[in-house]
Amino acid sequence: MKGIKGARIYFWNDTLSNEIAKHDANEKQFAPSPFNPIQLRQIDRQTEIMKNSALALLLLLGTAACMTPPPPPVERPPAKIALALGGGAARGFAHVGVIKALEAQGISADIVVGTSAGSVVGALYASGLDGFQIQELSMNMGEDQVIDGSGMYQCIAETMVSNKRGCIKGQALQDFINRNVHGLAIEKLDKTFAAVATNLKTGKMVVFRTGNTGMAVRASSSVPVFFEPVTINGQDYVDGGLVAPVPSSVARSLGADFVIAVDISDRPQDQSTAGITDILWQTFSIFGQTLNRHEQSSADIVIRPVTHGLPSANVSGRNKAVLEGEKAVAAILPELKAKLAKLNETRHVAGMP
């Protein structure tokens, strides 16, 4: 087909058609941008700013995550440590050595429970005296300061041949305690304190938590036959060793998290049975041994000073008794520290991180 006259003449064929299509495609591919060069540079800058801002935000979030403070430590309530001091007459001086040795390791009781001789030392300790002060007091103590009436051996002879309820009144012991705790009632002492006694009529355990400190100690220490029963509010009370020779269960009932029991009782196999006095003490030893097995199940650790050979009826062996108390603590110290460290995981033990 021919074109119009005067114009360039093309012959329409397939090749020409293809060329025109390619030309149109190229025109579209390289079509001019709707933005001028200045606008394009602004768009590029904004795009770069947005990229940098996004990167900065990601870095900030990552840094914040790394800087998040650790959760606060779990609050551990303070651990309450109790000292359960057992009975044992004049062997009770061993308790002084135990207290001294524990204090040397930074271990101090919050709760103190005592039976008989343990109540004597326990009351002094609960009043705020430390081990050295109690030792000084006990070393300078005369027998007449705690025993009124006949001497110990004359007392035994008199009691056996009379209808007396006991030849030692116990008033001297009561006065000695009250004087050295400055007249404070039990509930006013520095530490929680309890003295364990036995109701003579019912045979039941009685725990004195309030009232006259010296009178409670006197009741707890009134060994039958030797001491007269103590009458309080119309009831007669005698030595607490008849029901709780080592009062671990009482210490636990007062809220202790950890109970350190101190057993100063004689072992029956170590005792003589040659005379009437020996047989009397042996009776107490056998009786107390059975009760101790039950009581000590409430203790976390038991300290047993070697008391064999120490006199129970006089104070002549006080220095050796104190030393045996210190040695007994040294013997169980690794076990004691390990158990306290375990307790410290859930309850804060004073002196531990």
User: Under DSSP, is residue 239 helix (H, G, I), strand (E, B) or coil?
Assistant: strand
Q: How far apart are CA 303 and CA 109, in angstroms?
A: 14
Q: Which of 89, 83, 68 is nearest to 114 (CA)?
A: 83
Q: What are 78's two structure tokens?
A: 């303070």
Residue matched to tokens 């045996």? 324
Amino acid at 276: I
239 catalytically annotated: yes
- The angle that helices 93-104 and 131-139 make with each other, rounded to 10 degrees, is 150
Largest Cα span, the chain: 168
φ, ψ (nearest 5 deg) of residue 99:
-60, -45
Position 315, amino acid: V
Helix ranges (DSSP H) in the chain: 14-29, 37-66, 93-104, 117-126, 131-139, 152-160, 171-180, 213-220, 248-253, 276-295, 318-343
Helix (H, G, I), strand (E, B) or coil at 54: helix
Catalytic residue among 220, 221, 239, 263: 239
10 Å Cβ neighbour count for 219? 32
Helices then strands, counting H and E runs in the chain, come out as: 11, 10
Phi, psi of 302 (to 5 degrees): -120, 125
Please count the residues of the chain: 353
Active site residue 14: no
Q: Which two tokens stand for residue 80?
A: 């309450």
Choice among 116, 138, 249, 312 that is catalytic? 116
DSSP, res 264:
-
Positions marked active-site:
116, 239
